[in-house]
A and B are shown apart, each in its own frame.
Chain A
Amino acid sequence: MSATAELPARPAARSGPSFARVVRAEWTKLLGLRSTHVVAAVTVAVTGLLTHLSASASSGDPGFVATRNLGDALPLAFLGPLVLGVLVGTGEFSTGTFRSTFAAVPRRVPVLLAQAVVTAAVVLVVGVLSVGAAVLGILPAAASRGTTPDLGNAGVPQLLLGTVGFLVGAGLLGLAAGALLRRAVPALVAAVVVLLVAPVVLAFAAEAGTDPLAEYDPEHPPPATVLVNTVETFTPVGAGSALTNPGGGGLDGAPDLGAGGSALVLAGWVVVPLTAAAIRLRRRDLG
């Protein structure tokens, strides 16, 4: 028994890790985990189901337009991509796989970038399927009113595109948090605080900071509301809702960033922690 099986002699530069090869390797790794498939399936199913329930519940309302319910599952649906991203980001370190991975790719940072590419690709597919599931979800409610949902309706294409974009953003945010913190629980807690808890706290803050008896004038909101709304505009969820509703004009008193600006805000929430993770990866020892 011999360990040699002579590989054809190739120039060294062509036989080592290129970015395309690292992406292929990360793709193999991501699809080789059962958790990836489970999270993807659950995300699509939950999105379809929640949208269906929400649309059915409001189908009796006067002036019901089924397509208005298309984004109703989003506040929960983004948790799927988020978890997926966290799992990719922490998977190397929670299991010791990093030893194999970074021995194969000693420059390290290409692995992180490849993980971003494959996470974005998988979440893009999950996002498109989720949007498809949401469309299927509103069909029974629309049928009960004898209508067919018009996906060309004003705002609907933007809503669908924005939903996919926000899901991709959530996946990458999870990846960045995971890669930076390296442990699943702290990374998930941090991401959930930023994405789920912060909006609730901001809503309370807005209420606490305003006079409940004063008449609310959307043209001249009280200073506390302006402050809270401005902060919210720059949170990932705020950017996400602006992304799904680009014609919405922004929150009262807060700057309207539009779809492009909101996408940039969301990108910032990904790029900053991802850069920090890359610096940590590059500079520090891997015990």
Chain B
Amino acid sequence: MITAEALTKRYGATTAVDGLSFTAPPGTVTGFLGPNGAGKSTTMRMVLGLERPTSGSVTVDGRRYADLPAPLRTVGALLDARSVHPGRTASCHLLALARTHGIPRSRVDEVLGLTGLETVAGKRAGTFSLGTGQRLGIAAALLGDPGTLVLDEPVNGLDPDGVLWVRQLVRDLAAEGRTVFLSSHLMHELALCADRVVVVGRGRLLADATVAELLERSRGAGLVRVRTTDPAVLAEALARAGAEVAAQPDGSLHVRGASAEEVGAAAGRVGSTVLELAAEAGSLEAAYLELTSGSAEHRAGAR
């Protein structure tokens, strides 16, 4: 279990992580979502003790990472596929890590098998593609058979087979009762494998909810498109009911704040014939974009 409490990290005048609180409970895949520069990687480095919080705290199973007696057996991490010396072979890299914790060589062979790296075990990591490097990073994370996994963008650079494999792997790991904390900047990726999603923007918590809840939220903010014989009358009726109505040049209305059923019923009450009625289905991408709008670090044309 990972617990962050009012976690804050400043670099001079820049605040990378700003009072972030969340929990990643065991037995679930917790997605960690946000645009580039939202503070995801900084947060993960603080979980791993590579950076110290300016204030607040983050613990794994109730302990600071630096206080863990056997870190690799408690937390497995993939922070960056380029965390390997390009001159070392995959098995040498894993063996060196294993030796710090007295993990037997047989376990190295085992994780090489698990990640499908047997054939390249003796090749130098510098020759690996990004996808193979990711697999090696995942192998290193699994080495100590840890109860908590921290994976920063694990599907980055993987081929479609690899992506499916990672999704299944994280689901399996959570099903075994482990804590899986997985970052991505792609909502749909997390929708496919995460139970819960922690959304951050500019270092702040924007949402901490289940995937279903996020979807729900986006539906509520959804748009209903309606075309009737009498748009002006319907618009007035909907506005009276508290909905936000925008007349379109083609004579249709865009309605926010009312469901498709409510719009249809309102049309019936004022006696106008509905020619077309459609609810723009809420999507996770839409929910995400709405949550993070205004907090993206890079936006086209402006910064």
Contacts and interface: CB of A to CB of B under 8 A. Distances in A.
Interface of A: 1-7, 12-18, 21-22, 24-26, 28-29, 32-35, 91, 95-107, 285-287
A43 to B, nearest CB: 18
A2 B84 contact: no
Given A1-B169, A33-B85, A96-B83, 19 more contacts: A1-B168, A3-B169, A5-B145, A6-B145, A7-B107, A16-B68, A17-B70, A17-B100, A21-B99, A21-B100, A25-B96, A32-B88, A32-B89, A96-B80, A100-B140, A103-B49, A103-B71, A103-B79, A106-B49
B76 to A, nearest CB: 9
Contact of B87 (A2, A28, A33, A104): A33
A152 to B, nearest CB: 42
Contacts of A15: 69-70, 73, 101-102
A15 B68 CA distance: 11
Interface of B: 45, 48-52, 65-66, 68-73, 75, 77, 79-80, 82-89, 92-93, 95-97, 99-103, 107, 110, 114, 140, 142, 144-145, 168-169, 172-173, 176
Contacts of A32: 87-89, 92-93, 95-96
Nearest to B165: A1
Given A1-B172, A28-B99, A96-B84, A103 B92 contact: no
B96 A96 contact: no
A137 to B, nearest CB: 31
A33 B49 CA distance: 27
Contact of B71 (A16, A24, A26, A29): A16
B50 A102 contact: yes
Contacts of A21: 99-102
B88 A7 contact: no
Contacts, number: 133
Contact of A106 (B66, B93, B95): B66
A29 B88 CA distance: 8
Nearest to A111: B100
B159 to A, nearest CB: 17
A3 B96 CA distance: 20
B80 to A, nearest CB: 6
Given A15-B69, A15-B73, A16-B70, A104 B89 contact: no
22 contacts: A1-B169, A3-B142, A15-B73, A16-B101, A26-B96, A28-B96, A29-B85, A32-B88, A33-B85, A95-B84, A95-B86, A97-B83, A99-B48, A99-B79, A100-B93, A103-B75, A106-B65, A106-B66, A285-B45, A285-B52, A287-B50, A287-B51
Contacts of A4: 145, 176
